[in-house]
Structure 1
C-alpha cells in the first residue's frame, strides 16, 4: 500500500506522512509495528477517552509496552479505571513514577501546583511527569512512541503530523485527526467506557489538584487543566539540551 524506508535513523517524515494521510488509524499502528517492532511503546494517562487508543493499539500489537506515568496525585477514580481497563484489555502495563516522592517534593518545593504561574507548574511537571517518562523510554529501549494526541485539543497539537520526531524518538499519532464524534463512535462500537469523571462534566482529567469540569467560558477542553495557565504538561513537547540534562535523576 505504501513504500517506506527501513532505515529508522533516516526516515523521510515528509514522504511518510504523505503516504499515511489516507490511511486508517489501525493501518498507522500496523505501520509503526512493522517499522519499529520491539522498540515500539505506547503511553496512556488513563484519561477520559484513553480506552480508545488502548483498545485500538492492542488489537494490533497485543503485547506493546504501555507506559503510564503515575504522578501520585491522580484521582481515586483514575486508579480504579486503570485497573479495570488493564484487566479487561490484558494490557502490558509499565508503571513509572518520579524518583522523588510527593512528600519529599512538597518538603523541598512546597505545593507548587498551587502556584498559578508557568514556572512552578513546569517544575512540577518536570519532576512528576517528564523525568519518569524519559527514564521509561530509555529503560524500555524505545525508538518510537504511540500516543493519542488529537489536533483539536491544543494549538501546539494542530501543527503535528502522524509521525513526528521528538528528541531521539519518533512520536506516532494514529488518531491525530479524529473528531469528538469519531471518539464517541469508536467507544460505542466496541462497548468501551469513558473515565468516570466524564459524567461529572470533565472532558480532560489529570491530577486531582489541576483538573476541573468544563465550563461555558472555556475556549477548549485543555483550558480545564493546569489552572488555565498552560495547555501542555511537557510530555509531548521537545526538550532543549539544558532541559534534557536537568532530567538527570541525581539532580532532582
Structure 2
C-alpha cells in the first residue's frame, strides 16, 4: 500500500486520514498509519504529562516509527529524568534534536526571549521548537508528523481535524478525540508511570520558564506563557518559506 500512498497528493492524504480515523480506535489508527505511509512517518514527543500515551501506542503497534524529541535545553529536570525512564522501558527509537544555539548562547545574544512579549516568544519558538522539528523532518525524510494533540487541550485545538496540512507536512492526531477520562484510564490500564510534576498541580508541560502549576479555578491554558497563549509555534504555520512546517 505504500506505493499507492506515496503517489497521492498531500490533499488526498489528508482526506484519506480524515475518512479512515473516525471508525477506528487509537491503536488501529497507529497501525493503519504505518501500514499506509511507512517511512514517511515520525512521531514528535515532548515527554510531557500525557506524552507517554502516544509513545506507548507506537511502541506496541508501530515500533518502526522514529520518535523526535525536541530538547530545548529549558525542560524541567523532572522531564529529562522521566524521558530517560520511558525511552528505556518502552524501547523507543528516539532521535534527539536541539536548537542550533545553546541556551547560554541564546541568552547572551538575545536575552531571555520569553520575557520579551509576543515578538520574543515567537522568536523563541522558531529557534527552539520549529527549526529543530523542521530539521528532523528533513533529516529523517518524513513528511507526515504524528502528534498527541487533543481537542480538549485548549480552545485553540477544539476545531482540529484528525489530519491537516501544515505547509509541506501532513499532521495526524491519533488521540485527537480522547477525553481526559480516557487518558487517565489508559495510564492506569497499561501501568504507565505519570510525569512526576503532575502531582504538583501541573496540567500541561513545556519549558520551565513558561509553564506553571494551575491555580485554583484556573485552566491548563492559563498556566502556559502567563495565560497569554497556549501554542509554542509548532502547531502554527512558521511563515518561513523554506520550512516544511
Shorter-chain TM band: over 0.9
The alignment status of 1:221 with 2:220, answered yes or no, reads yes
Q: Distance in 2 between matches of 1:205 and 1:244?
A: 29
Q: Which residue of 1 aligns with 2:72?
A: 71
TM superposition score normalised by structure 1: 0.90
- When residues 210 and 107 of structure 1 are mapped into structure 2, their CA distance, relative to the original with a 3 A threshold, is same
Q: Which residue of 1 aligns with 2:92?
A: 91
Q: Which residue of 2 aligns with 1:17?
A: 18
- When residues 54 and 198 of structure 1 are mapped into structure 2, their CA distance, relative to the original with a 3 A threshold, is same
Encode CA deviations 1:31-67: one digit per residue, 9 max, x unaligned: 2112210121100000011111100122111131100
- Written as runs of structure 1 = structure 2, the 5 A alignment for 1:80-159 is 80-115=81-116, 117-159=117-159
How far has the Cα of 1:12 moved from its partner?
5.4
Q: Which residue of 2 aligns with 1:250?
A: none
- Written as runs of structure 1 = structure 2, the 5 A alignment for 1:197-208 is 197-208=197-208
Encode CA deviations 1:130-181: one digit per residue, 9 max, x unaligned: 1111000110000211110000112221121111111111111000010110
Q: Distance in 1 between matches of 2:163 and 2:185?
A: 24
Q: Distance in 2 between matches of 1:158 and 1:39?
A: 27
Q: Distance in 2 between matches of 1:244 and 1:18?
A: 30
Encode CA deviations 1:8-50: one digit per residue, 9 max, x unaligned: 3251534541332121111111221122101211000000111
- When residues 29 and 98 of structure 1 are mapped into structure 2, their CA distance, relative to the original with a 3 A threshold, is same
Q: Distance in 1 between matches of 2:54 and 2:16?
A: 25
Q: Distance in 2 between matches of 1:130 and 1:15?
A: 26
- When residues 152 and 167 of structure 1 are mapped into structure 2, their CA distance, relative to the original with a 3 A threshold, is same
Kept in 2: contact 1:30–1:60 (CA 8 A): yes
Q: Distance in 2 between matches of 1:13 and 1:146?
A: 13
Encode CA deviations 1:197-233: one digit per residue, 9 max, x unaligned: 0010101111111110011242x31221112111100
Matched residue pairs, number?
Answer: 239
The alignment status of 1:39 with 2:25, answered yes or no, reads no
TM superposition score normalised by structure 2: 0.92
Encode CA deviations 1:54-103: one digit per residue, 9 max, x unaligned: 00122111131100100001111111000000000001000000111111
Kept in 1: contact 2:126–2:238 (CA 8 A): no
Q: Distance in 2 between matches of 1:19 and 1:103?
A: 46
SS at 1:94 equivalent? strand
Q: Which residue of 2 aligns with 1:239?
A: 238
Query: Is there any run of 5+ residues in structure 2 with no aligned partner, and where?
Result: none
SS at 1:20 equivalent? helix
Q: Distance in 1 between matches of 2:17 and 2:198?
A: 35
Once superposed, what is the RMSD of the aligned Cα atoms?
1.7
